[in-house]
């Protein structure tokens, strides 16, 4: 039987030590995932540990329990919050109800009462989990949720099977509002190996489970249509501003992580490019599917935006042969063996087709044109790679056998592939270097956060966090804290500044919280740290 995780929050360690000993947590179906000493620390741990229940005191430094509850409900709707307090005041209880806390109990905490509280919490959690995992209910939900006419319209729209002059007519007939002014397609791919053994669901039902989770998370704040199509979950979203796409990407990233925790499903979200007309949705759909392919580079259980992976992405390839598309795809993903195999398949298929010499020459010219277009879209130095354009065409036309064409393609495409990898690496390093430089220039700003630097860089937090940690080995918050502490040490030892002045200069509005963070970093208070360094010298 799976256990629900609990995070305890109180600034007095002996309090949560007592709480931990009061109950037989394991037999009740719970486990203590950790404990925090203030609301700020608890908020960070809730994100990292993905807990089910948070039990918090009200009166704490830096962030009180009511504020913590409000933020938890804002970011993690499914978390159950229990507030305990030594203050028997109606205003506190009323505020707790207002911000949707599950329980409000008074100190000193009675073991019997606490057990009853967690039994009620577990009943609610079990009910929610059963609703998501019950195969019969999922099948019933799936059948009842089929809006055939609307979904047929949406799938025809993203497949490009509706002409522009008929879109408004069909939308009106099917009671669909396409007001935009901006549109986006996202695709969620559910891995078929997500569940195994006796607990395994049918792939279709697992997809339905994730689909329901997506609908629950998006219904409040996003104008989205969620549907299943070709075994994937497709989301068509209407946006009021272009900038909303970064927040939407972050939301999809949270949903991927939530799907693993709630549904035990491995999910990758591909976010297509934003467009300003429904007729452009096929391009956004293709971009979203291409973005999912990048999971071989960046991993699954996350959202991947095509505009962040490949800003110059062009999904409407003029020559629509599948084999050429596969070659270009393998070049982008850096799959060396996959590239060779795709080229081999292309040459074999070309040989089987028994085409005329004239058609062969047209085919080769179109292939080379696609390679040049790909290079140009990825800002490559084409002359450095190939020399004069006419020389490349001439070389290809003089090849005397399919084997020679295959060898030439392998050499040429490997050059492009290596250039793509180097360009991507250079862009990543430049991207992270810009973020680091921004920290150095703005670390004293008390409002500096992941959100502010992402706004400055115009990227989503999901993409930024992945790239930054991959390049530096640290999360952005850890890097910012380390840098601030380095500056604090310099001010402390070399400039003889007071603690409250140092706190302000390195971006902390509360001197007490600065001292807390300093002690957490170095194991001692600023004054003791300074004294120890003076003794060493």
Listed in sequence order, the DSSP H helices in 104-199 are 111-133, 135-144, 148-158, 164-173
Identify the DSSP state of 201. P
Which range (119-123, 254-258, 344-348, 421-425) has the least confidence? 421-425
Distances (CA, A) of 472 to 118, 238, 294, 416, 468: 41, 36, 21, 27, 6
Angstrom distance (rounded) from CA 249 to CA 269: 9
Could you say which of 71, 105, 133 is where a domain stops?
Answer: 133
Angstrom distance (rounded) from CA 355 to CA 161: 30
Angstrom distance (rounded) from CA 333 to CA 421: 9
Judge whether residue 289 has pLDDT over 70.
yes
Local confidence band at 196 (pLDDT 50, 70, 90 cut-offs): very low
Q: What is the pLDDT of residue 142?
A: 53
Please count the CA atoms within 13 angstroms of the CA of 18 that sit on its side-chain side. 11
Q: What is the pLDDT of residue 59?
A: 85
Angstrom distance (rounded) from CA 197 to CA 180: 44
Judge whether residue 259 has pLDDT over 80.
yes
Q: Are residues 326 and 303 in the same domain?
A: no
Local confidence band at 439 (pLDDT 50, 70, 90 cut-offs): very high
Give me the residue label for tokens 């109990």. Answer: 105
Local confidence band at 217 (pLDDT 50, 70, 90 cut-offs): very high
pLDDT in tens, 50-67: 899 999 988 888 888 888
Could you say which of 309, 334, 351 is where a domain stops?
Answer: 309
Judge whether residue 83 has pLDDT over 60.
yes
User: CA angle, corner 409, sides to 403 and 414, nearest 5?
Assistant: 130
Q: What is the pLDDT of residue 357?
A: 61
pLDDT in tens, 147-167: 678 888 899 999 999 988 899
Q: Are residues 123 and 231 in the same domain?
A: no
Going by their DSSP bridges, the two strands 182-190 and 267-271 should be labelled as: antiparallel
The tokens describing 50, both together, are 């993905």
pLDDT, greater one: 27 or 403: 27
3-state secondary structure of 162: coil
Angstrom distance (rounded) from CA 523 to CA 530: 12
The tokens describing 55, both together, are 């039990």
The tokens describing 202, both together, are 């049918």
Local confidence band at 355 (pLDDT 50, 70, 90 cut-offs): low
pLDDT in tens, 479-500: 999 999 999 999 998 887 889 9
Angstrom distance (rounded) from CA 345 to CA 327: 10
Q: Are residues 304 and 330 in the same domain?
A: no
Local confidence band at 442 (pLDDT 50, 70, 90 cut-offs): very high
Angstrom distance (rounded) from CA 222 to CA 228: 18
Residue 431 lies in a domain: no
Are 68 and 43 a contacting pair, CB within 8 Å? yes
Neighbouring residues of 191: CB distance < 8 A, sequence distance ≥ 6 = 265, 266, 267, 268, 300
| Structural domains in the chain (count) | 4
- Domain range for 372 is 322-425
The tokens describing 488, both together, are 């604090």
Are 250 and 462 a contacting pair, CB within 8 Å? yes
Judge whether residue 518 has pLDDT over 80.
yes
Local confidence band at 274 (pLDDT 50, 70, 90 cut-offs): very high
User: CA angle, corner 72, sides to 221 and 240, nearest 5?
Assistant: 20
Q: Are residues 454 and 394 in the same domain?
A: no
Local confidence band at 400 (pLDDT 50, 70, 90 cut-offs): low
- CATH code where residue 96 lies: 3.40.50.2300
Q: What is the pLDDT of residue 200?
A: 46
Angstrom distance (rounded) from CA 503 to CA 509: 7
Q: Are residues 406 and 462 in the same domain?
A: no
Judge whether residue 311 has pLDDT over 60.
no
Local confidence band at 321 (pLDDT 50, 70, 90 cut-offs): low
Please spell the DSSP secondary structure of 415-441, one letter per residue: HHHHHHHHHHHHHHHHHHHHHHHHHHH
Residue 117 lies in a domain: yes
Angstrom distance (rounded) from CA 517 to CA 93: 31
Residue 29 lies in a domain: yes
Distances (CA, A) of 265 to 74, 78, 205, 231, 257: 24, 17, 11, 14, 9
Q: Are residues 465 and 348 in the same domain?
A: no
Q: What is the pLDDT of residue 236?
A: 97
For range 336-360, the mean pLDDT: 78
Residue 430 lies in a domain: no
3-state secondary structure of 312: coil
Which range (418-427, 463-472, 485-494) has the least confidence? 418-427
Judge whether residue 281 has pLDDT over 90.
yes
Judge whether residue 219 has pLDDT over 80.
yes
pLDDT in tens, 445-455: 999 988 889 98
Residue 363 lies in a domain: yes
Instruction: Give the best-scoring range by mean pLDDT among 44-48, 280-284, 347-351.
Output: 280-284
- CATH code where residue 165 lies: 3.30.70.270
Judge whether residue 316 has pLDDT over 50.
no
Length of the chain: 537
Angstrom distance (rounded) from CA 273 to CA 251: 16
Q: What is the pLDDT of residue 18?
A: 85
Distance from chain centroid for Cα 223 = 19
Q: What is the pLDDT of residue 90?
A: 59
Which range (6-20, 22-36, 84-98) has the least confidence? 84-98
Q: What is the pLDDT of residue 197?
A: 43
For range 306-324, the mean pLDDT: 58
List strands edge to edge, sheet with 182-190.
Answer: 223-229, 232-239, 182-190, 267-271, 303-305
231 CB-contact burial (10 Å; exposed 0-12 / middle 13-18 / buried 19+): exposed
Nearest to 73 by CA among 40, 36, 106, 98: 98
- Of the chain, the percentage scoring pLDDT greater than 70 comes to 87
For range 104-108, the mean pLDDT: 80
The tokens describing 410, both together, are 């392998």
For range 327-346, the mean pLDDT: 83
Q: What is the pLDDT of residue 506?
A: 93
Range 426-441 burial, b when 16+ CB lie within 10 A, else e = eeeeebbeebbebbee
Q: Mean of the per-residue pLDDT values for the chain? A: 83
Q: Are residues 86 and 223 in the same domain?
A: no
Residue 316 lies in a domain: no
Angstrom distance (rounded) from CA 476 to CA 450: 7
Answer yes or no: pTM beyond 0.75.
Answer: no
Are 424 and 434 a contacting pair, CB within 8 Å? no
Q: What is the pLDDT of residue 320?
A: 37
Q: What is the pLDDT of residue 224?
A: 94
Could you say which of 361, 390, 425 is where a domain stops?
Answer: 425
Residue 171 lies in a domain: yes
Q: Are residues 213 and 359 in the same domain?
A: no
For range 192-198, the mean pLDDT: 50
Residue 433 lies in a domain: no
Please count the CA atoms within 13 angstroms of the CA of 401 that sit on its side-chain side. 3
Are 230 and 292 a contacting pair, CB within 8 Å? no
């Amino acid at each position: 039987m799976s256990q629900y995780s609990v995070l305890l929050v109180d600034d007095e360690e002996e309090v949560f030590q007592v709480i931990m000993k009061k109950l037989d947590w394991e037999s009740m179906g719970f486990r203590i995932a950790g404990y925090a000493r203030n609301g700020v620390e608890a908020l960070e741990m809730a994100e990292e540990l993905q807990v089910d229940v948070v039990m918090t005191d009200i009166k704490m430094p830096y962030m009180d329990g009511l504020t913590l509850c409000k933020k938890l409900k804002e970011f993690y709707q499914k978390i159950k919050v229990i507030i305990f307090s030594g203050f028997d005041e109606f205003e506190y209880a009323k505020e707790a109800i207002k911000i949707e806390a599950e329980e409000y109990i008074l100190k000193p905490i009675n073991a019997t009462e606490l057990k009853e509280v967690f039994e009620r919490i577990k009943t609610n959690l079990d009910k929610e989990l059963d609703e998501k995992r019950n195969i019969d209910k999922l099948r019933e939900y799936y059948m009842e949720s089929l809006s055939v006419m609307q979904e047929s319209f949406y799938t025809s729209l993203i497949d490009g099977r509706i002409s522009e002059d008929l879109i408004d007519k069909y939308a009106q007939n099917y009671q669909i509002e396409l007001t935009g002014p901006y549109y986006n397609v996202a695709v969620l791919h559910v891995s078929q190996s997500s569940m195994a053994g006796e607990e395994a669901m049918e792939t279709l039902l697992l997809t339905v489970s994730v689909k329901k989770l997506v609908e629950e998370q998006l219904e409040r704040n996003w104008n989205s249509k969620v549907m299943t199509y070709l075994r994937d979950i497709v989301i068509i979203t209407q946006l009021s501003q272009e900038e909303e796409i970064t927040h939407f990407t972050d939301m999809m990233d949270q949903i991927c992580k939530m799907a693993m925790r709630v549904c035990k499903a491995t999910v990758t979200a591909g976010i297509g490019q934003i467009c300003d007309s429904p007729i452009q949705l096929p391009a956004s759909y293709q971009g979203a599917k291409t973005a999912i392919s990048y999971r071989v580079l960046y991993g699954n259980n996350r959202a991947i935006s095509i505009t962040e992976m490949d800003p110059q992405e062009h999904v409407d390839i003029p020559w629509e042969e599948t084999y050429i598309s596969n070659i270009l795809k393998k070049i982008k993903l850096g799959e060396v063996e996959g590239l060779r195999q795709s080229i081999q398949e292309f040459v074999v298929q070309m040989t089987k087709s028994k085409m005329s010499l004239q058609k062969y020459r047209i085919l080769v010219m179109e292939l080379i044109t696609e390679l040049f277009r790909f290079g140009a879209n990825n800002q490559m130095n084409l002359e450095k790679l190939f020399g004069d354009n006419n020389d490349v065409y001439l070389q290809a036309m003089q090849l005397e056998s399919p084997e020679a064409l295959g060898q030439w393609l392998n050499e040429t495409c490997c050059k492009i592939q290596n250039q793509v990898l180097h360009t991507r690496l250079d862009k990543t390093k430049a991207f992270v270097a810009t973020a680091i430089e921004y920290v150095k220039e703005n670390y004293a700003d008390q409002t500096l956060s992941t959100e502010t630097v992402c706004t400055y860089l115009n990227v989503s937090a999901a993409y930024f966090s992945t790239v930054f940690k991959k390049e530096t080995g640290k999360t952005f918050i850890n890097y910012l804290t380390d840098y601030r502490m380095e500056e604090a040490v310099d001010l402390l030892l070399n400039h003889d500044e007071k603690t409250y002045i140092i706190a302000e200069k390195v971006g902390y509005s509360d001197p007490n919280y600065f001292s807390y963070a300093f002690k957490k970093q170095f194991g001692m208070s600023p004054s003791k740290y300074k004294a120890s360094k003076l003794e060493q010298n």
